[in-house]
Each structure stands twice: as C-alpha cells, then as structure tokens.
Structure 1
C-alpha cells in the first residue's frame, strides 16, 4: 500500500510539472553576428534594430531611449535668424506590448517619433521662435521587459 501511495504521489508530481507552461525565463538581446542590436541617427530621430531570444512569458516589450544634442536656430520677432543654444534631449521608441512568438525569438525595428523643439529654452526668450535643425544622438539604452519586469538592459552607440 505504501509503495502504491509513493508511486501515485510521484506520478501526480510529474503530471503537475508536465501541465505547467514552460517559461524560458532568460529573455535577452542577441549580441553576436548580424542580429546584434544596432542604432542609427537619422536626423531628428533614431532607429534601432536587432533580435531578442529566450522569450518564455506571454508578453514582452522593447524600449529604446537615446540621448543627444539638439542643434536649434532662433528667429526673433523682427525676423532675424541666429544660432540657438545646443540642448540635450532624450527620446524614446518602443515596440509596445507584444505577444511572445512560439519560437521565443523576435526581430525588432524601432523608430522614434520626430523630435520636437526641446522643452529647455534654446532661444533667448519666449518671444523668439525655435526651429530644430538636427539632433546628434550618442548612445541608446535598450530595455527588454518580459511580463512587465526588466529582463535585460544594454547600451548601444548610435552611429
């Protein structure tokens, strides 16, 4: 009888494990070869592309945040154009929440929205009109969140 109970308990434990979903729990950015994350400066926005693997949850999200220096022109009320102050900006792009593919891998391409005029005043006073010419991005931080929790974060130079 004891042997039967032990065998039954073991069988139930195996069945419980088999019924539970298998989660990889090691979502990460692929770092080698042609699938490694690459970010590019495209003027007033940036783009990042690459691949993530090891996705085992039901949802994930990729976010890229890039910092850069905005070059601004200022026009005074008389219409005179002058160079504004360079201003540091931070811009974000996201994949939005995605369902995990069956193979646990996802190739991504993120594009930030066009940068607006920096919130920090780049012109002498509010009567002047600021015009954004370009942003030179330096680095981007890519974050992979699986089930709402950060799985990995990497920093990529923006070229």
Structure 2
C-alpha cells in the first residue's frame, strides 16, 4: 500500500512540474505580439518568441507584395513599368537559445528587387522598385532546424 501511495505521489509531482521541453512559440497578445510594418521597398517585423528549449533557433519572415516599378532604357529614359508581385524575406539568422528560453526579435528585410522581364519591355531595360505594397507576412520559428511555430500577420 505504501509503495502504491509513493508511486501515485511521484506521478502527481511529475504532472505538476513545469514543462521544460521544447515548445517554441510566438507570443500573442499585448505588446510582445508579432507585428509587421511596410517601410516602402522593405518590411519590418518585431515581437517575441518563448518556450525555446533547443540549442539553436532562427526566425524567418516572408512577405508578398505588389511592387510599383520604374523602367530605365539604355538611353536613360524612364517609364512606368509593369506592377509585379514580389516575395521578400527577413531572417534573424541562427541564434543560440537564451537561458530563459525567450527572445525579443526585430527583423528588417532586404529591399525588394524584380527582374527586368516581365516588369519592363525587354531585358536591356533596368527595373527599379519604387515602392511595394505588402499585405501579409508569414513568420516561422525554427528550433534546431525544425519548424516549431508559424504565424501570419497583416503588414500595416
């Protein structure tokens, strides 16, 4: 009987103990929730992740938008180009997991770029992105090279 009681208490203690296993996730709600902003030809995302239990992690943000393009011919004449859909990415690069399992991030993408074709009349023209209207961004948290969490946010 005493052995059964001790076993039951051990199971109850384990059930009540905090979970230290890897449970990486994006913090939602409040000032730490992921948010992204459109900054012209780039976008920025900031927020917080928690539950990091692996050895390394990486945060990647990918946003799709419509690029307003200007085309320049070899003589230097500028004309309106064809609006083109672009996909732009920002990353934290691989980071060591902090001891408290939480990380506040701020990511800035590289400027959007488009090929001359189909935005311009032919490959001899140079395409210049004037502005991009981003709509949503998908943020992915990878822990030890495996996807742990993903969220989609509006780009404001």
Q: Name the TM tier (shorter chain).
A: 0.7 to 0.9
Which of 132, 136, 140 is 2:133 aligned to?
A: 136
CA contact (8 A) 1:23 1:57 kept: no
TM-score (norm 1): 0.81
CA contact (8 A) 2:68 2:130 kept: yes
Match of 1:64 in 2: 61
Match of 1:9 in 2: none
Which of 32, 35, 52 is 2:32 aligned to?
A: 35
Match of 1:94 in 2: 91
Question: Could you say if the C-alpha distance between residues 38 and 119 of structure 1 is closer, same or farther in structure 2, counting changes exceeding 3 Å?
Answer: farther
CA contact (8 A) 2:25 2:49 kept: yes
Question: Could you say if the C-alpha distance between residues 120 and 37 of structure 1 is closer, same or farther in structure 2, counting changes exceeding 3 Å?
Answer: farther
| 1:105 and 2:95 matched | no
Which of 56, 78, 82 is 1:81 aligned to?
A: 78
Question: Could you say if the C-alpha distance between residues 60 and 86 of structure 1 is closer, same or farther in structure 2, counting changes exceeding 3 Å?
Answer: same
CA contact (8 A) 1:67 1:138 kept: yes
Query: Across the two proteins, how many residue pairs are aligned to each other?
Result: 140
Which of structure 1's runs of 4+ aligned residues deviate more than 4 A?
Answer: none
Report how far residue 33 of structure 1 moved.
0.2
Which of 117, 124, 127 is 1:127 aligned to?
A: 124
Q: Report the RMSD for the aligned CA atoms in angstroms.
A: 1.9
* Consecutive unaligned residues in structure 1, runs of 5 or more: 1-21
Deviations 1:110-129 (A, max 9, x none): 01112223465200111222
